[in-house]
Structures are given as C-alpha cells and as structure tokens.
C-alpha cells in the first residue's frame, strides 16, 4: 500500500467496524452484563453505543488533521518521540492481545461444542494459518472480505429472529431499570470495552479510507449497525432464556443458539450459525493482527513493504 493512497471504500470501512463489534460482544458480553444488571443489560448496551459517538468524532477529527498518518505516526508529533514510541508499543500489544482473544474464542467454540474429538493443536494451527494468510494479503483483502462477513451477519440475525419468534416473552425484559439507574450506567462501561475496539481501530485504518469527508458518516453508521446487532441479540436472548439463565452461562450465546429452532423440522443448527459467525470473528482477528504488525513497524521505524 502506498502512503496516502486510499484503498478502502467507505462501505468497507463501515463493514470492518461492524465486524469488530458484535462477534465478541454476544459471546462474553451478555453473560457479564446479565450478572451485573440482569434484564437491563440491553439498556447498558445502548448507553455504551451512544457514548461512543463523540469519541469517534474526536478520533476522526484528529486523524483528518494529520492526513495520511496513523495514531502511531502522529502521536510522535503530539507527545514527542519517546512517548510516541511507548504508545506505539502499547497499541501493538493491545491489537495483538485482542486478536489472540478472537482466535482463542473461535477455537474454543470448536473444541468445546462442535469438534471435541479433534486435536486442539490441529484446530489452532489451521485457524492461525488462515489469519496469517489474511495478514499477508493485506488490509485491502481483509476489508473486502468484511463485506461478505457483513452479509453473513445479516443472515445470522435473520435466523436468530425467525427461530426465536415462538419463544420470546417481553415480560423477561421488563420493568426497565429494574436494577437501578446507576448500576445500568456503570455496566455500560463494561459494555464499552466491546464497543470501544472499533474506535481504536479507526486510528489505524482511517488513512486508507478513500472518501475522508464522509468517514465520520461511515464510522457512525458502522457503530449503529453493529450496535443494533449487539442490542438486538441481547434483547432476544433475554426474552427467550431470561436474565437468570443468561447470567448462569459462561458462553450464553452458544447455549442460546442450541436452544432455538425453526419449526419442528429444523433444529440444532448451531454448526451453521457458528459458520456464519466465523466470518466476522475471522475478520476481527485478521484486521487486528494487521494493525498490530503495522503499529510495530511504524514504532520501530521499519520501512520494508510486507504485502
């Protein structure tokens, strides 16, 4: 990628942010929030999304004032060389650890629920190979694949909605603010740890976006679409299983998918649902690993072109 040349369309920019919001949040976020605020966890999700908007605005505003530079590059101008390099190393580790978490999440889904007889090492090597291949092909390929992942996410949520219609009970999410106003706002900070990943990701991929003028619109639309996926899943999960059951489960999303069915003839289709979910978790791991590598290269001053 040549510096200063836009290689990501605004649609791809939007879709990559969506893919970095919902797959991890529905796995661990629902159980964590349900244990804190019960039936109000979806309200905490909405609050975390709304509070993310000004941060995205600030992130894009600063990025556009340092044209064609990532946060690692312009932090050296704002903070000085030493602190800029420290921030670069922190971001390198952050992106890498979150990417590792995404990889671990998918592998444990397979080994614990779907393929318990398959050697753990085999699944790990195969998945890591896919992620390394994506990183090798570069962010352009990853973002193009994100468009497919977004389509798979739509199918995922349509199936969740169709399969849940017969089981939903709106009384399981009422009354609102049952756990109190303050606890709900406090829980939104935990929800923000899932919503916050795209905000940091923007600082690394914004220079690649072709239409910089509409980047804020693309980012906010990605935030709200991804946020809708997240909140919708929380609400459906609560209305089907109830807050007490969700709070007891380590990975509530997998148990939820296992429990729903479309008519009496189509049930236990969790393998298909995991396949749809995999597209987004793969994109998340790929783009975060790519950003980690890019942050390290810019921090260390490595100029060699990898892709």
259-296 pLDDT, tens per residue? 766 656 555 667 778 888 889 999 999 999 999 999 99
The mean pLDDT value for 211-240 works out to 91
70 pLDDT band, cuts 50/70/90, is very high
3-state secondary structure of 301: coil
Residue 266: its H or E element? strand 266-267
pTM value? 0.88
Dihedral sign, CA of 288, 231, 228, 275?
Answer: positive
The tokens describing 50, both together, are: 């709304």
> How many Cα atoms are found within 13 Å in the side-chain-facing hemisphere of 72?
26
Task: Tell me which DSSP letter residue 39 carries.
Answer: G
Which of 1-10, 202-211, 264-273 ranks highest by mean pLDDT? 202-211
The mean pLDDT value for 104-119 works out to 82
Please give the Cα distance from 258 to 240 (Å, whole number): 12
301 pLDDT band, cuts 50/70/90, is confident
The tokens describing 298, both together, are: 């810019």
pLDDT at 297 over 90: yes
- Check residue 145 and give its pLDDT: 93
Q: CA-CA distances (angstroms) from residue 274 to 65, 76, 114?
A: 41, 42, 9
The mean pLDDT value for 68-97 works out to 93
Question: Which position has the higher pLDDT, 165 or 78?
Answer: 78
Contact 172, 258 (CB under 8 A): no
In the block, residue with structure tokens 């049930």? 267
Instruction: Write down how long the chain is.
Output: 307
Q: Which CATH architecture has domain 10-300?
A: Up-down Bundle (1.20)
What are the beta bridge partners of residue 261? 267
Nearest to 33 by CA among 169, 153, 197, 179: 179
114 pLDDT band, cuts 50/70/90, is confident
What are the beta bridge partners of residue 8? 209
Contact 278, 110 (CB under 8 A): no
- Check residue 247 and give its pLDDT: 87
The tokens describing 160, both together, are: 């969740």
Q: CA-CA distances (angstroms) from residue 14 to 38, 100, 214, 250, 259?
A: 31, 23, 11, 30, 32
- Check residue 161 and give its pLDDT: 86
pLDDT at 183 over 90: yes
Structural domain boundaries in the chain: 10-300
Of the candidate ranges 108-117, 168-177, 186-195, the one whose mean pLDDT is the lowest: 108-117
- Check residue 2 and give its pLDDT: 42
Question: Which position has the higher pLDDT, 273 or 127?
Answer: 127
Please give the Cα distance from 47 to 183 (Å, whole number): 12
- Check residue 261 and give its pLDDT: 65
- Check residue 13 and give its pLDDT: 94
The mean pLDDT value for 39-68 works out to 91
Please give the Cα distance from 36 to 42 (Å, whole number): 12
């Amino acid at each position: 990628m040549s510096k200063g040349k836009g290689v990501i369309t605004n649609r791809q920019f939007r879709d990559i942010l969506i893919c970095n919001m919902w797959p991890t949040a529905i796995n661990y976020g629902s159980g964590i929030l349900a244990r804190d605020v019960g039936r109000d966890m979806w309200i905490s999700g909405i609050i975390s999304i709304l509070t993310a908007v000004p941060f995205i605005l600030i992130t894009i505003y600063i990025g556009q004032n340092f044209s064609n530079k990532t946060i690692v590059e312009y932090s050296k101008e704002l903070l000085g060389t030493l602190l800029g390099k420290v921030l670069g190393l922190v971001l390198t580790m952050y992106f890498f650890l979150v990417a590792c978490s995404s990889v671990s999440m998918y592998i444990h889904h397979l080994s614990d629920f779907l393929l318990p007889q398959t050697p753990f090492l085999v699944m790990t090597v195969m998945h890591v190979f896919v992620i390394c291949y994506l990183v090798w092909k570069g962010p352009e390929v990853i973002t193009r694949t994100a468009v497919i992942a977004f389509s798979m996410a739509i199918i995922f949520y349509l199936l969740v909605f169709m399969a849940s219609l017969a089981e939903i009970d709106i009384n399981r999410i009422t009354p609102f603010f049952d756990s109190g106003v303050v606890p709900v706002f406090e829980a939104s900070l935990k929800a923000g740890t899932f919503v916050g990943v795209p905000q940091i990701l923007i600082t690394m991929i914004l220079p690649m976006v072709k239409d910089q003028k509409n980047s804020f619109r693309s980012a906010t639309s990605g935030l709200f679409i991804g946020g809708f996926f997240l909140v919708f899943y929380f609400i459906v999960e609560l209305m089907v299983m109830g807050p007490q059951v969700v709070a007891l489960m380590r990975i509530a999303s997998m148990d939820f998918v296992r429990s729903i069915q479309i008519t009496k003839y189509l049930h236990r289709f969790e393998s298909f649902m995991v396949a749809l979910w995999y597209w987004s978790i793969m994109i998340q791991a790929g783009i975060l690993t790519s950003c980690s590598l890019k942050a390290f290269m810019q921090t260390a001053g490595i100029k060699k072109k990898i892709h």
